[in-house]
Amino acid sequence: MTFLLRFGAADLLRCRFAVSPRWETHEAVRTLRRPARHGYHLPWLRGLDRRATGTAGLDLRPLWLLMPERGHNPDFLSPPPIGPAASFEEEIAAVRAAAAADPAAVRADLARSLTCTPGAYDSPLGQAMLADPTAAVRELADLTEAAWRALIAPHWPRLRALLEADLVFHSRRLATGGLEALFNDLHPALTWEGSTLTLARPGEHERELDGQGLVLMPSAFTWPEVVSGFDPPWQPTVVYPARGIGALWNGTGPGAPEALARLFGRGRAEVLCSLEEPADTHTLARRLGLAPSTVSAHLSALRGAGLLLSRRHSRRVLYERTPLGIALANGEQSGG
């Protein structure tokens, strides 16, 4: 099962990158309910003010109701980003304006999303949204703004730096290797062949870009998924996990190297802690001043213990930490 995005000549000239604080806000809300996403974000989760994210301060149920595990998310609530550097305030204003312009379209969008979650459509909350879509938009926008302040705004400088570093890296990939090099490096589920970008994921979808081009957007909270789609009239968009999210919340465990050295040896501890972003054997050897054969042996042992993953990129094999490896490297094994 695949998503197919078919490019024409004009589309090749209209691919652009973007960053969206509103998207990160919604994905952070989604992450709170999805344990499979928690590995890279344990320090963030543990640092949250539970009074602000629980029922006492911030009721996220209306947003969660419109975030099905599989299926449609309301387009009016998650349009493609305005540009590469739009503020949250600009983005949420665009959500309010676009949704208020056509209440009937909003109701149809809500209904389509609610039917993707068992029981959501007929729930009191779902029926209230459908009965007054204009009020629903207002309340969902207000809730998104509150979630932004509680979950993302305090960390936005750190998140923005990560996302912008990803844009710089992939812009260089595009400049030096073209679209094939760019797309084949974004995520294992994405492949480029001929003039078609294929995303391996549940469902069937085919879209002729028809000169609109494609928005490419890194996200800190989308991992391990790639998100694609947006029906017309939205511009097609692909959201992929940003590079370096393993190091996003670093700085919470200064004693980790010593603790890990006692646990399974200094050499392996240094290799694990140095993998703040994916790297190959020779890069790590130069970084640590070790022989490549020694680093290779450490990498094999760490991968065998479930602390690293490896993937081939061109002629190189890149290693990156698993969620367990991240937790150990950040000194979180005693947290709770």
What is the C-alpha to C-alpha distance for residues 249 and 226, in angstroms, rounded to an integer? 21
- Greatest extent of the chain over all pairs of C-alpha atoms, in Å: 67
Residue 212, burial from CB neighbour count under 10 angstroms (0-12, 13-18, 19+): middle
CA end-to-end span of the chain, whole Å?
39
Q: How confident is the model at residue 253 (pLDDT cuts 50, 70, 90)?
A: very low
8 Å CB contact between 276 and 256: no
Can you name the residues that pair with 197 across neighbouring β-strands?
Answer: 5, 192
| Positive or negative: CA dihedral 253, 259, 264, 266 | positive
| DSSP-assigned letters across all residues of 130-148 | HH-HHHHHHHHHHHHHHHI
- Give the ranges where 115-265 is alpha helix by DSSP (H): 124-131, 133-147, 156-186, 256-264
Q: Quick one: angle between helices 133-147 and 88-100, nearest 10?
A: 170
Tell me which of 126 and 55 has the higher pLDDT. 126
Residue 225 has which token pair? Answer: 């998924």
Tell me the average pLDDT of the chain: 83
Q: Is the pLDDT of residue 165 over 80?
A: no
Q: Is the pLDDT of residue 322 over 90?
A: no
Domains (ranges, CATH) in the chain? 2-16+158-242 (no CATH), 21-154 (no CATH), 250-329 (1.10.10.10)
Q: Is the pLDDT of residue 174 over 70?
A: yes
| Tens digit of each residue's pLDDT (9 = 90 or more) over 102-124 | 888 899 999 999 999 999 999 99
Cα 110 to chain center, whole Å? 23
| Tens digit of each residue's pLDDT (9 = 90 or more) over 5-44 | 889 888 888 888 889 999 999 999 999 998 888 888 988 8
Tell me which of 180 and 334 has the higher pLDDT. 180
Instruction: Report in angstroms the alpha-carbon separations of 194 from 183, 212, 291, 295.
Output: 12, 18, 41, 38
Q: What angle do CA 18, 21, 27 make, to 5 degrees?
A: 105
Q: Quick one: angle between helices 266-274 and 281-288, nearest 10?
A: 110
Cα 318 to chain center, whole Å? 20
pLDDT of residue 170: 84
Cα 133 to chain center, whole Å? 28
Q: What average pLDDT does the segment 237-259 reach?
A: 71
The percent of residues above 70 in pLDDT, for the chain, comes to: 90
What is the C-alpha to C-alpha distance for residues 135 and 148, in angstroms, rounded to an integer? 20
Q: How confident is the model at residue 203 (pLDDT cuts 50, 70, 90)?
A: low
Q: Is the pLDDT of residue 2 over 90?
A: no
Q: How confident is the model at residue 49 (pLDDT cuts 50, 70, 90)?
A: low
Q: What average pLDDT does the segment 171-197 reach?
A: 84
pLDDT of residue 336: 36
| Tens digit of each residue's pLDDT (9 = 90 or more) over 221-235 | 988 888 887 666 677
The percent of residues above 90 in pLDDT, for the chain, comes to: 29
pLDDT of residue 334: 38
Tell me which of 81 and 67 has the higher pLDDT. 67
Q: How confident is the model at residue 56 (pLDDT cuts 50, 70, 90)?
A: very low
Helix (H, G, I), strand (E, B) or coil at 228: strand
Helix (H, G, I), strand (E, B) or coil at 223: coil
The order of strands in the sheet holding 196-200 is 190-193, 196-200, 2-6, 205-208
Q: Is the pLDDT of residue 50 over 70?
A: no
Closest CA to 190 of 177, 201, 205, 203: 201
Q: Is the pLDDT of residue 213 over 90?
A: no
| Tens digit of each residue's pLDDT (9 = 90 or more) over 88-100 | 999 999 888 866 7
Q: Is the pLDDT of residue 129 over 80?
A: yes
Residue 240 has which token pair? Answer: 């992929």
What is the C-alpha to C-alpha distance for residues 332 and 336, in angstroms, rounded to an integer? 8
Strands 308-313 and 227-229: unpaired
Tell me which of 295 and 328 has the higher pLDDT. 295
pLDDT of residue 55: 36
